Chain A
Amino acid sequence: MTAQIPLVDYLVLGDAPHLQANECTSCGARYFDRRNACAGCFGTEFRKVDVPTEGEVRAFTIVTFAAPGVPVPFVAAVVDCNGTSVRGNLINVDPDPEHVSLGMKVRLATYSLGLDDNGVEAVGFGFEPA
């Protein structure tokens, strides 16, 4: 089996791919990046928590003009996963206002970003219509 590496370290691969957040143990604030202290309460202890893989689109845009090297069009969105806001692209859907809408139900999905020179496959994530 090909060795895999996630696009970002908060994407957990395996049989049931999901996102994992750093949750502040004192106030419950969730972060996807590494934190020195909690921006909400200044606490310094965090635990790993799994983020629900299903959610609802709270905001989106269809980007048709981007920096060099960034393929367009793509749909950027904020997905509300049962109270945890997640940034991600909407994938496996036509990138137009007829097929993407506010409030639509989506679920996490992964896709290949290709192999590197060592034969390791990078895997990205997005959200697809549920």
Chain B
Amino acid sequence: MADDIYILGIKMTKFGKHPDKDTVDLASEAAMAALADGGVTMKDMGVLAAGCLMGGGGIGQQIQKQIGQTGIPVFNVSNACATGATALRTAIMAIKAGECDMGLAVGVEKLAGAGLLGAGGRAKSDKKEWTPSGRYGAVTGTDGRIGTDAMPGTFAQVGMEYGHKYGGASFELFAKISEKNHAHSTLNPLAAYTKRMTLEEIMNDVMIAYPNTRSMCSANCDGAAAAVVVSGSKLKTMSLEQQRRAIKVSASVLTSDPWQEACQVLPDVNTLTKVAAKQAYEQAGVGPEDLDLVELHDCFATAELVHYDNLGLCEEGGAVDFFNSGATWRDGRTPVNVSGGLESKGHPIAATGIANIWEVCHHLRGEAGDRQIEGAKVGLAHVIGLGSACGIHILEKSALG
């Protein structure tokens, strides 16, 4: 049987604007802090997996040059918004395969000031001549003519589709989800935005793609996060303090879209999340009712709603009632995005899939200060990268803690 896997050290940088630092600086800061948090050095690492979606290739080797070149294998990964989770999963797989007993995963992005993601026209030629090209034989750009390519509108439709199927999903409901996350962010000093917003402020903010206003969209910002993972057998040889703070990775799952009717018309973020959740609960031997907190991929307020259902936090079709019951506020039955979520903590793409794990670990270690969820023992972190990739990790407090 494969060995257990633990998070030994983990850190995220402050999310926000870092004009004086490049991606390598931010990644190195997170990586060195994660190593120090675990009480280890680059000399102990057997593998490095790293991602920076918008950067060029080779971020892993660039980081090594700043924090230590030891000749270990480097995997540069790219998996949309699931890039960070994919880096972590890659390091975990190397350990599970028995190739090493410790590894480092890093995700970093610089996005402050970036515009709309996903949208892109094509360059216009000087002479105007309708010429079909591409797999749809399009004679000009289709963004805006045949639906939207941009993320806010894509995820708006994901939420609206859920509302059509089950009812009860109004503009106001989606805005209330955002209100919760912005309220949660006031307790997170590392969040990009920590301002509480009223429902009116959120609903009257600039409309981006109905029903998502600007404050209901994930915040583009800079940031990095890194994690050191270790095998259970190696951890047993380490100090009691390291063992006490280590967090068990009781499930690590990555899925892609199984084919569904319509999944290529509107991305289906539901099926692969449901499949990943089922696998994760089976691997971990826990159910949604055991979760003390959840960090899920609220890239837009409209997305958070559907993932309550996809992750099994509520009954099928019951996400609206579940939210209205107050369950996902930090004092509720299943606190969701107590970090402030992507809408206020921010979404430096490749960092997100490790930063959400840092948030959960922070609570399981009892180190979350003012926003500590008391007595948290089990948590889940979820990301979706459109295209699609879904990463889910279930984390458990050390038995020694």
Interface residues of A, Cβ cutoff 8 Å to B: 5-10, 29-34, 39-40, 57-72, 74, 76-78, 83, 85-89, 97, 102-103, 113, 116-118, 120, 122, 124-125
Closest to A124 in B: B145
Closest to B119 in A: A67
Cα distance A124–B140 when bound, in Å?
10
**Residues 118-176 (chain B) with a chain A CB within 8 angstroms:** 119-121, 127-130, 132, 135-150, 152-154, 156-158, 160-161, 163-164, 171
Query: What are 19 A-to-B residue pairs whose CB atoms are below 8 Å?
Result: A7-B146, A8-B139, A8-B142, A32-B136, A57-B164, A61-B153, A61-B160, A63-B144, A63-B148, A64-B208, A70-B144, A76-B209, A83-B261, A85-B261, A87-B266, A88-B146, A89-B144, A116-B130, A117-B128
Contact B266 A59 (CB under 8 A): yes
The listed residue (A6, A74, A102, A124) touching B160 by CB distance below 8 A is A102
Task: State the total of A-B contacts with C-beta under 8 angstroms.
Answer: 160
B54 at the binding interface (Cβ < 8 Å): no
- Given A34-B135, A70-B121, are A59 and B116 also a contact pair (CB < 8 Å)? no
B265 at the binding interface (Cβ < 8 Å): yes
Residues of A contacting B171 in the complex (Cβ-Cβ under 8 angstroms): 97
The listed residue (B116, B144, B259) touching A40 by CB distance below 8 A is B259
Contact A67 B130 (CB under 8 A): no
- Given A113-B140, A122-B139, are A85 and B262 also a contact pair (CB < 8 Å)? yes
Residues of A contacting B140 in the complex (Cβ-Cβ under 8 angstroms): 7, 113, 122
Cα distance A113–B138 when bound, in Å?
12
Contact B259 A39 (CB under 8 A): yes
Cα distance A87–B144 when bound, in Å?
11
Closest to B210 in A: A62
B237 at the binding interface (Cβ < 8 Å): no
Residues of B contacting A97 in the complex (Cβ-Cβ under 8 angstroms): 171, 210-211
Contact B160 A33 (CB under 8 A): no
The listed residue (B154, B161, B259) touching A29 by CB distance below 8 A is B259
Contact A122 B264 (CB under 8 A): no
Q: Return A77 CB to nearest CB of chain B, in Å.
A: 7
Residues of B contacting A78 in the complex (Cβ-Cβ under 8 angstroms): 147, 157, 161, 262, 265-266
Closest to B132 in A: A9
Closest to B121 in A: A69
B399 at the binding interface (Cβ < 8 Å): no
B206 at the binding interface (Cβ < 8 Å): yes
B240 at the binding interface (Cβ < 8 Å): no
- Given A62-B210, A64-B207, A68-B121, are A7 and B139 also a contact pair (CB < 8 Å)? yes
- Given A5-B139, A74-B144, A122-B139, are A64 and B210 also a contact pair (CB < 8 Å)? yes
Q: Return B126 CB to nearest CB of chain A, in Å.
A: 10
Residues of A contacting B264 in the complex (Cβ-Cβ under 8 angstroms): 31, 33, 39
Closest to A90 in B: B147
Contact B150 A66 (CB under 8 A): yes
Contact B208 A67 (CB under 8 A): no
- Residues 103-121 of chain B: 1 if any A CB is under 8 Å from the residue's CB, otherwise 0? 0000000000001100111
Contact B262 A71 (CB under 8 A): no
Residues of B contacting A60 in the complex (Cβ-Cβ under 8 angstroms): 157, 160
Contact A7 B142 (CB under 8 A): yes
Residues of A contacting B137 in the complex (Cβ-Cβ under 8 angstroms): 8-10
Contact A29 B261 (CB under 8 A): yes
- Residues 250-279 of chain B: 1 if any A CB is under 8 Å from the residue's CB, otherwise 0? 000000000101101110000000000000
Residues of A contacting B127 in the complex (Cβ-Cβ under 8 angstroms): 117
List 8 additional contacts besides A59-B158, A102-B160; criterion CB under 8 Å.
A59-B160, A61-B209, A63-B209, A76-B209, A77-B157, A78-B157, A78-B266, A88-B147
The listed residue (B129, B143, B147, B209) touching A65 by CB distance below 8 A is B209
Residues of A contacting B120 in the complex (Cβ-Cβ under 8 angstroms): 67
**Residues 49-66 (chain B) with a chain A CB within 8 angstroms:** none
The listed residue (B130, B144, B156, B164) touching A103 by CB distance below 8 A is B164
| Interchain residue pairs A-B with the least CB separation, the first 3 | A9-B137, A67-B119, A85-B262
Cα distance A37–B266 when bound, in Å?
20
Contact A87 B265 (CB under 8 A): yes
Closest to A34 in B: B135
Q: Return A6 CB to nearest CB of chain B, in Å.
A: 8
Contact B146 A8 (CB under 8 A): yes
Residues of B contacting A122 in the complex (Cβ-Cβ under 8 angstroms): 130, 139-140
Q: Return B309 CB to nearest CB of chain A, in Å.
A: 15
